[in-house]
């Protein structure tokens, strides 16, 4: 299950993580965000111990959203070693997120098409 991060915990949760981290920047009023939510949950369930998966409500956490230039949601960012590795704006198919994470989590491209 995806965990929740915030302005207060983002540094520890995401930037200091040893594993790759997927962060879903979302808001409860955003229709497309509601479409991405179940995809993010499935990815979290498929990759336990390989990646960390977090959700950040941009309305409740404007500092981090602003720091990473989030102007459109949903935005999904993959971080590795505290740096942005890949960013997706808008709804993407599950395999797009999964493939980007799998490559970083294993160093091997086991792409799902």
Contact assessment for residue 23 and residue 52, using Cβ atoms and an 8 Å cutoff: no
CB within 8 A of 100, min separation 6: which ones?
78, 85, 86, 88
- In the annotation, is 30 catalytic? yes
Contact assessment for residue 13 and residue 3, using Cβ atoms and an 8 Å cutoff: yes
- In the annotation, is 68 catalytic? no
Cα–Cα distance measured from residue 13 to residue 42, given in angstroms and rounded to the nearest whole number = 20
Question: Two tokens at 40?
Answer: 């993010």
Catalytic-role residue among 33, 53, 73, 77: 33
Cis status of the peptide bond prior to 74, with omega within 30 of 0 = yes
Catalytic-role residue among 17, 30, 89, 96: 30
Catalytic site positions: 30, 33
């Amino acid at each position: 299950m995806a965990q929740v991060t915030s302005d207060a915990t983002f540094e520890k949760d995401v930037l200091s993580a040893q594993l790759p981290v997927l962060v879903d920047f979302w808001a409860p009023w955003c229709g497309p965000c509601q479409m991405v939510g179940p995809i993010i949950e499935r990815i979290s369930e498929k990759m336990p111990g390989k990646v960390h998966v977090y959700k950040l409500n941009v309305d409740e956490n404007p500092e981090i959203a602003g720091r990473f230039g989030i102007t459109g949601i949903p935005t999904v960012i993959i971080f590795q070693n505290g740096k942005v590795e890949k960013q997706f704006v808008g709804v993407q198919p599950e395999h797009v997120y999964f493939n980007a994470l799998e490559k970083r989590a294993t160093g091997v491209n086991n792409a799902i098409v």
